[in-house]
Amino acid sequence: MQAVIVKAKLQIADVDKLVQYCKQLDGTIVKIIQNDEKVTSYPERNNHALQQAFNVMGDEPFIWLEPDSIPLKEGWVAALEYEYNKLGKHIMLSNDTHPPHDIVGGIGVYGGLARKLIPAGIKADGWDGWTIKNIKPLVSFTPLIQHTYGDYSKGGCNQHIFPRDNHIIRNDAVIFHRDKQQGLINR
């Protein structure tokens, strides 16, 4: 299974750092898809980026990465592929949810049929939120992808900072999302 990232102009350094880290971690070569920059408003730009990955990957399942999704262990691709095949659904995402601050993250595995299930042109929501609202029965959920924007205990969302927050990383997680500062790289 291939790990994929869509590289936008504003993310060049972060994407390059993540791709290099994946190679150093366990030899994983991440497929880089250059963002065509045709869509710039949020959340449409993110939805468009996923559609670009679908167009390049065709019917091949792939692991969707973003610059703030950091693999944690050697063999992370094989672990996600095994879990995806075991769970047997078209899309696999994290089982972490933190309403109302964040309900789902898009980091996960997208099978070939996902391109037919997630339509182009979603405007009111990110594709991940749209997916949960519209096709949740076709999605499997795993603890292998740890997803949290931050500490929710004080009513808001205080962003995680690594290495300060390394203690929150679960032993079973093979990838962590969301590390905006990429502090988990080379921890």
Averaged pLDDT score across all residues of the chain = 94
- Name all contacts of 131-136 with Cβ < 8 Å and 24+ positions apart: 131/91, 131/93, 131/104, 132/103, 132/104, 135/91
* Chain position carrying tokens 């949740």: 136
- Please give the domain boundaries of the chain with CATH numbers for all domains: 2-177 (3.90.550)
Mean pLDDT of the 61-88 span: 98
Gap between the Cα atoms of 166 and 96, Å rounded: 17
Predicted structure pTM score: 0.95
Indicate the SS3 state at residue 115: helix
Mean pLDDT of the 30-58 span: 94
Task: Say which range, 31-45, 86-100, 142-156, has the weakest mean pLDDT.
Answer: 142-156
What are the pLDDT digits (tens) for 47-56? 999 999 999 9
pLDDT at 73: 97
Q: Can you give 96-109 as a three-state secondary structure string?
A: CCECCCECCCCCEE
140: left (phi over 0), alpha (psi -120 to 50) or beta: beta
Instruction: Evaluate the omega torsion of the peptide bond into residue 137 and state whether it is cis, within 30 degrees of 0.
Output: no
